[in-house]
Amino acid sequence: MKMIFRWFPNGDDSVQLHHIKQIPGVTGVATALPHIPVGDVWPTGQILAVRDQITSAGLEMEVIESVNIHEDIKKGLPSRDLYISNYITTMKNLHEVGIRCICYNFMPVMDWIRSDLAEPLPDGSTAMSYRHDKILMLDPHTMAHSMINGSNQFSLPGWEPERFSAMAEDIEFYRNVSVDEYFENIAYFIRSVMPFADEYEIDFAVHSDDPPWPIFGLPKIINNASSIRRFLSLHPSKHNGIAFCTGSLGADSANDLPNMIREFASAGRIPFAHLRNVKHTSPTDFHETAHLSGCGDLDMFEIVKALIDSGFDGYIRPDHGRMIWDETGRPGYGLYDRALGSNYLQGLWEAVKKMS
Ligand code: DNO
């Protein structure tokens, strides 16, 4: 297992690489080149520039989160072939500089969504929260702006401003797309790129849908054990895997996370795990919490144990933290609470390892 930390380049992060280097046990970062428009090829020179910064700080850059998928691929438009071909070139360029794992998502229109990026918790910290009714009351424009207004001036992954103008139209487009039709679009994508992931030995990890249920009528296809099984069967190689996000899958209490981990990690299909906790206030409402089991609804001990019992040897990152100790930064991605989370998770890891 390698413990890594998400970090955004180009000055777009309140957390510095030397801060990350000082977190015990963290050996690398998951990063991206978010300034490159979605669908364009990532030039090797630009990848190397970021890699040099990271390695000069004594950290590894083996994981990319994310190489985003152009909406035309998700929509299944004829122009997808060009974007897929660009994607494959980016994979090749990433492979050549030593990338081992690429995380992506196949959520239509928008990546993750929250109704509040800084909900006050009783201890004086703030955390991101999701209220289903509140989300459904928003039109796409207001929703995008409320996300950006809460972002503390940092970019929000998946909420790039250039996407906003098309958002309402895109949501409309998907109204007539069934889950099965949408699944065909990821199938087409996977069949096109996976032979290259196999050749380059890159673990290709799809992030689960966040939240794991449909909103605005958008089709969701990676949100529980059966949908993950269906997805994995598209290409049987171990390079076709899941970025197993406990917070997003765990938002649906029907998901038995330790069992899902046992099934998918034992088959070698979880190269990357995002570990965080959530506390439900109703079946569809929740707020994010500190990573400890006692702070939320997820049993992090059982989650870590399931990973270890299944022989997991991929990357873990502590996912979204709260904002604590007066820190300001990108919501969910401050330094302090994620560093606490990383230590807690490594403590669990050591304990379970030594007990087994
Ligand atoms: C949000 C993240 C997502 C995730 C992407 C992966 O905080 O979990 O933006 O990185 O869905 O492609």
* Spatial separation of the C-alpha atoms in residues 34 and 99, rounded to whole Å: 16
- Which domain range does residue 212 map to? 2-355
Enter the tokens of residue 313. Answer: 């040897």
Pick the catalytic residue from 72, 252, 319, 337: 319
DSSP 314-356: SEEEE----B-TT--SSTT--SHHHHHHHHHHHHHHHHHHHH-
**Cβ atoms of 67 and 40 closer than 8 Å:** no
Count of other CB atoms within 10 angstroms of residue 99: 21
The CATH number of residue 246's host domain is: 3.20.20.150
Q: How far is the CA of 5 from the centre of ligand 1 (A)?
A: 13
**For 167-194, how does the pLDDT look when each residue is reduced to its tens digit (9 = 90+)?**
889 999 999 899 999 999 999 999 999 9
pLDDT band of 163, cuts 50, 70, 90: confident
pLDDT band of 159, cuts 50, 70, 90: confident
Q: Does residue 106 have a pLDDT over 90?
A: yes
Alpha-helical runs (H) found in 108-159: 132-137, 140-149
**For 4-33, how does the pLDDT look when each residue is reduced to its tens digit (9 = 90+)?**
999 999 999 999 999 999 999 999 999 999
Mean pLDDT of all residues in the chain? 96
Q: How far is the CA of 207 from the centre of ligand 1 (A)?
A: 7
Q: How far is the CA of 224 from the centre of ligand 1 (A)?
A: 17
**For 329-348, how does the pLDDT look when each residue is reduced to its tens digit (9 = 90+)?**
999 999 999 999 999 999 99
* Spatial separation of the C-alpha atoms in residues 125 and 15, rounded to whole Å: 18
pLDDT band of 143, cuts 50, 70, 90: confident
Enter the tokens of residue 93. Answer: 């360029």
Please count the structural domains in the chain: 1
Q: Does residue 218 have a pLDDT over 90?
A: yes
The torsion angles phi and psi of 63, rounded to 5 degrees, stand at -125, 130
Peptide bond into 236 cis (omega under 30): no
Tell me the best of 33, 63, 66, 67 to mutate to test the pocket of ligand 1, counting ligand atoms within 8 Å of each CB and taking the most.
Answer: 66
Please work out whether the CB of residue 105 comes within 6 Å of at least one atom of ligand 1: yes
What letter does residue 281 receive in the DSSP assignment? E
CA-to-CA dists, residue 115 to 16, 40, 254, angstroms: 28, 31, 22
Pick the catalytic residue from 235, 239, 291, 320: 320
**CB-side neighbour CA atoms (13 Å) of 347:** 10
* Spatial separation of the C-alpha atoms in residues 118 and 213, rounded to whole Å: 22
**For 25-81, how does the pLDDT look when each residue is reduced to its tens digit (9 = 90+)?**
999 999 999 999 999 999 999 999 999 999 999 999 999 999 999 999 999 999 999
**For 126-142, how does the pLDDT look when each residue is reduced to its tens digit (9 = 90+)?**
999 999 999 999 888 88
Active site residue 239: no
